[in-house]
Structure 1
Amino acid sequence: MSSASDATTGQAPVVSVARHPPFILFWFGRVMSTLSFQMLSVAVGWQVYEITGSAFDLGLVGLAQFIPMVLLTFVVGQVADRYDRRAIASICMIVEALAAGALALGTYQGWLTRELILALVAIGGAGRAFESPTMAALVQGVVPRELIPQAAAWTTSATQTAQILGPALGGLLYGFGSMTAYVVACVFFSVGGVLVALIRAERVVSTREPATLKTMFSGLSFIRSRPIILGTLSLDLFAVLLGGATALLPIYARDILETGPWGLGLLRTSPAVGALTMSVVLAHFPIRHHVGRALFASLVVFGLATVVFGLSTHLLVSMAALFVLGASDVISVVIRFTLVQLQTPPEMLGRVSAVNSLFIGTSNQLGEFESGVTAALFGVVPAVLIGGAGTIAIALLWMVLFPQLRKLKSLEG
């Protein structure tokens, strides 16, 4: 409840999202969903490779998850702004649970083929395409406005926690058979859907505009008309696009750092641990002043950490660089998430969040592709150095192109 309503009802204002029941349900629902998605990705990847032995087919799995997001982005935004966001997110998780359950059943009965796996992955990807932006838009209706920066940090921590635990748990469960991993993912998705359905939102927002092509693309138009939001989203897009060094971790682990799979595991975990640590710090000590400076500083640190990682030949130094990389990345993530929440009208938030999700997904996927192409052309170490230097260059360029963002003092604009 807001501070104003607290004054009229005599109840103490909510000072922490950790004591706010609707957000607690939201947080655990997000953890369950993201954990399930990470487990499912590991299990599907292993099973497809066992069936086909083809690296190309592994790429098709990622493509099957990515294409629904691209195709459905603008439809998702319309739906999220017209209907109860709790119901949409809950239904999406149930759809993903059914896809995981079908994978388990097909494995048990032996009728699962590569084509069917890809089809089920695409169905789950469609559910996730609706779920991610809808959950992001739901935050504004779950917590008071003054707690949104704190909620952004805790929401990021939920994602990072799941990204750390999910792959490890998926691999562990796969040791008992792929069906076990699918069944657990199905259960976790279902639990997440129930938790979200139980949320009692403070504000249920829906638009009354007639559905037209103009309203479908209005999220994109809104972002273009707001230099601060456009600058933030595009800055993150290009920075991640150039800074995709994590795609080259297997090469670094084996050929440069000369470690085994255990070293690769440590390298993959390091940025997630850094991100989780920083998200917890920001949850307790949110950025309140000189937001623009903090945003650009975090991107410069991200680029420098990438350069240090690229030059490192020692495992501990590489892990430390990746830790700093993950921590600095979260600062920009939390600032971007909070700015979108606070500077977007509630009835427009679904469409803007959908475009934001498309930016994030595109930058992650294309960033890995860019790193691979650059490494093939110039070598692994030069590719990482180019990415780090490019990130710093983008931050400096955006300071000139978006002076409003550079001068931004508070998250309220």
Structure 2
Amino acid sequence: MHMQWKRTFALIFSGQIFSILTSAMVQFSVIWHLTEATGSASVLMIAGLAGFLPQAVLGPFIGVWLDRWNRKLTMMIADTVIAVSSLVLGLFYLWGEPSLWVVYAVLLIRSAASAFHAPSFQAAIPLIAPEEQLTRVAGWHQLVFSASGILGPALGIAVYSATSLGTVLLLDVLGALIANVMLLMVRIDQPKPEVVETPSFGKEFVLGWKTFLSAKPIVIITIAMAVFSVAFMPLSMLFPLMTLSHFGRGGYSASLIEAVFGAGMILGGGLLSVLASKWRDSTYMSISLFVIGVTCVLCGLIGSSAFAAFVGLSFFMGAAAPLFNGPYMAMIQKSYDPEKLGRVLSFVTSIGLLSSPIGLALAGPVVDRFGVQIWFFWAGIIVVLIGVFLFLKFNKSGQEQQSLE
């Protein structure tokens, strides 16, 4: 039994890394194409809104049904929809340059499918791994994302430069196919419904909300995460613009930044896997936010000739990210029963994603008027303050430990 769950995750992750890798190639290539073609922060922010908003709107409703659906099948269907959308946009680019509205529409569809895939995957993890291994598995998950974060931009810009954006998008279809084949080879048991009769949508929605509110430390951290998302999430769209507009460099330099960020995430994910359970989950999260905030502030202060410093800061920012994401997800998985976890994860994901469009809407005009560095600097200040707040809150009250006992 001990080895069985590890073999299951090996199969799942070996498939997902292809899907995540090709998606990372697509994500970077689309952002760089829009950056190079328009040079507009507002265009990038609209693209970001198209990528975030459907997940935020659909998330709470998906959670109601997710706890009753087959989670493996849900992941496979979502991956297929993402692949088809990549195929459609890829054909558009192979035939010519589509309008921005076509790009936004395809990003909306991909986002809607991701709204089903991400929570179903996270909700399936406690059905496979023992509870005491959830933080360690979260570290593995971060490693998969981090490896893709290194290779994806480099491969994406190489294929984009040698061929076209359409070719990059078509490779995403292959990645989704491999992921689905691997999922077909594993078994994921569906949890038994909490009640025999089928309750109404409204009752299940309210039940999911009440379940989420029952773990007070999760509520506090989720609110902090929402504020963090407003400040930090626009940076995911602004890194290429920083490379282009502030440092005057091209696509390969932009992919280098993404690669070192991903390398840092691999280091952070590895440390999390090794040091899991040494400290409280909330302590890891506080350290993560403090390091991310400080590096953002420094990015907002460096001169246009200090690209090497920007590379180093991106590495440490990436290394700090898994120390928040992994423990946060593990803390949620420990705090709720598996039959209710899908709804809770959808609520949590939606709160973060509903916050992100606020930041994206604000960042576009601010960056177009005052420059990209101003957002890095003030985002960093806000993130540092959030990290200090969480550290003081949980070290004084011990709420996190009480919620998990």
Bin the TM-score by the shorter chain.
Answer: 0.7 to 0.9
Task: Determine which of 325, 329, 339 is the counterpart of 1:333.
Answer: 325
Q: How far did residue 264 of structure 1 move?
A: 3.3
Spell out the pairing of 1:127-206 with structure 2 (5 A cutoff): 127-174=113-160, 175-201=162-188, 204-206=191-193
Residue 28 of structure 1 corresponds to 14
SS state at 1:82 partner: coil
Cα contact 2:221–2:390 (8 A) shared by 1: no
Spell out the pairing of 1:163-312 with structure 2 (5 A cutoff): 163-174=149-160, 175-201=162-188, 204-208=191-195, 210-243=199-232, 245=235, 247-250=237-240, 252-253=242-243, 257=247, 259-312=249-302
Change (3 A) 1:284 1:215: same
CA RMSD of aligned residues (A): 3.4
1:322-344 alpha-carbon deviations (Å, 9 max, x no partner):
22222122101111010011111
Q: How far did residue 76 of structure 1 move?
A: 1.4
Residue 10 of structure 1 corresponds to none
1:368-389 alpha-carbon deviations (Å, 9 max, x no partner):
5545555567665454332222
Q: How far did residue 137 of structure 1 move?
A: 0.8
Spell out the pairing of 1:1-80 with structure 2 (5 A cutoff): 1=1, 13-14=2-3, 20-42=6-28, 44=30, 59-80=45-66
Distance, in Å, in 2 between the alignment partners of 1:284 and 1:394 is: 26
1:38-83 alpha-carbon deviations (Å, 9 max, x no partner):
3333455577799999876655543333332122112211221001
- What one-letter code is carried by the residue in structure 2 that aligns with 1:276? I
SS state at 1:311 partner: coil
SS state at 2:325 partner: helix
- What one-letter code is carried by the residue in structure 2 that aligns with 1:190? L
**Larger deviation, residues 29-38 vs 364-373:** 364-373
Distance, in Å, in 1 between the alignment partners of 2:261 and 2:93 is: 34
Residue 90 of structure 1 corresponds to 76
Change (3 A) 1:370 1:29: farther
Cα contact 1:270–1:319 (8 A) shared by 2: yes
Residue 343 of structure 2 corresponds to 351
Q: How far did residue 358 of structure 1 move?
A: 2.0
**How many residue pairs align between the two structures?**
399
Residue 7 of structure 1 corresponds to none
Distance, in Å, in 2 between the alignment partners of 1:68 and 1:279 is: 28
Identity %: 23
1:181-223 alpha-carbon deviations (Å, 9 max, x no partner):
2322111112112222322125645444513213124333322
Residue 311 of structure 2 corresponds to 319
Cα contact 1:164–1:269 (8 A) shared by 2: yes
**Larger deviation, residues 379-388 vs 305-314:** 379-388
Q: How far did residue 255 of structure 1 move?
A: 6.0
Change (3 A) 1:178 1:74: same
Distance, in Å, in 2 between the alignment partners of 1:387 and 1:108 is: 38
- What one-letter code is carried by the residue in structure 2 that aligns with 1:184? L
SS state at 1:357 partner: helix
Q: What's the TM-score once normalised by structure 2's chain length?
A: 0.84
Distance, in Å, in 1 between the alignment partners of 2:23 and 2:95 is: 23
Residue 376 of structure 2 corresponds to 384
Cα contact 1:104–1:178 (8 A) shared by 2: yes
1:10-42 alpha-carbon deviations (Å, 9 max, x no partner):
xxx34x97xx11111221233233223233334
Residue 9 of structure 1 corresponds to none
Q: How far did residue 173 of structure 1 move?
A: 2.7
Cα contact 2:47–2:104 (8 A) shared by 1: yes
For structure 2, the residue ranges without an aligned partner over 5 or more in a row are none
Distance, in Å, in 2 between the alignment partners of 1:60 and 1:258 is: 23
- What one-letter code is carried by the residue in structure 2 that aligns with 1:181? V
Distance, in Å, in 1 between the alignment partners of 2:188 and 2:47 is: 35
Task: Determine which of 387, 391, 395 is the counterpart of 2:387.
Answer: 395
